[in-house]
Copies of this chain bind each other. A is one copy, B any other.
Amino acid sequence: MPPQEPPKLTLRERKKREARRALAQAALRLALDRGLENVRVEDIATEVGVSPRTFNNYFSSKEQAVCSMVVDRHEGMREALLARPEGEPLWESVKQAVIEQYSREGEPDRAYVARIRELMGQLMLRGEFLNAHAEVERVLAETIAKRAGGADHLLCRLMASSVESAVRVAFVNWFMTEGEPFLPTLERLLDELATGMPTLTGGAAEQTEPNTTTTPLGEPLC
């Protein structure tokens, strides 16, 4: 028999990962088909051939399941960044790592994009989606800090946060407009960040009419 090479993952571990993966995938597929509001937890569980209760052993909500793919990206990002050559300037490393990570996933076809766009309209998802991005950002900041030696922790966080901003903006632009491809946009925005957005920063403001609106009140929160 060919040595099936059980990769050092205990059977339990493999099953667990596989189950999680299957659940996330089923959740996404069903959500794209019918809209998340028409997907009950029971449906997802059934699709995978598992009890509804088990679903909640893996995810604490269907939103989380759908978005878990986003979170998984952080693995790739971390690796890509740590794999950049030693002497390369930090920003270049980050930029290339990000771009690399996002090129790996080829551009999906139009129909798919349309369905994604529709799905994202679901308010139910926005929060969880942002949550996922925040997680990616955290890992990125950590990795940047490691890559940059003992640089200012705060600045590392700012950098990670800015990069994620660019990604988010590029992404939204990509799936909200029919024409623009994703990667070039992303690259442009990253460059813009690197140079402090001179295109906008420098220009003086055009005049705007006075605009009469009344401030209701400023709350002291958060």
CB-CB under 8 A from A165, the residues of chain B are 158, 161-162, 164-165
Main secondary structure of the interface of A (DSSP, over half): helix
Q: Are A205 and B154 in contact (CB under 8 A)?
A: no
A86 on the B face (CB < 8 A): yes
Q: Does A3 contact B (CB under 8 A)?
A: no
Q: Does A216 contact B (CB under 8 A)?
A: yes
C-alpha gap A217/B127 in the complex (Å) = 24
For residue A89, CB closer than 8 A to chain B, the reply is yes
How many Å from the CB of A186 to the closest CB on chain B? 11
Query: Provided the pairs A161-B165, A218-B138 are in contact, do residues A148 and B200 lie with their beta carbons within 8 angstroms?
Result: yes
Q: Mark A177-190, 1 if CB is under 8 A from B, else 0.
A: 00000000100010
Q: Residue on B with the closest CB to A87?
A: B204
Which chain B residues lie closer than 8 Å to A158 at the CB level? 165-166, 169, 189, 192-193, 197
Residues of B within 8 A of A215 (CB): 75-76, 79, 142, 145-146
> How many copies of this kind of chain does the complex include?
2
In the assembled complex, A90 has its CB within 8 A of some CB on chain B: yes
Query: Are B221 and A70 interface neighbours, CB within 8 A?
Result: yes
User: A88 interface residue, CB < 8 Å from B?
Assistant: yes
Residues of B within 8 A of A75 (CB): 215-216
Interface centre among A126, A173, A185, A196 (most CB of B within 10 A): A196
Residues in B with CB closer than 8 Å to A172 are 157
Binding site for B on A (CB under 8 A): 17, 28, 69-70, 72-73, 75-76, 78-79, 82, 84, 86-91, 93, 101, 104-106, 108, 116, 126-128, 130-131, 134-135, 138, 141-142, 145-159, 161-162, 164-166, 168-173, 185, 189, 192-197, 199-208, 211, 213, 215-222
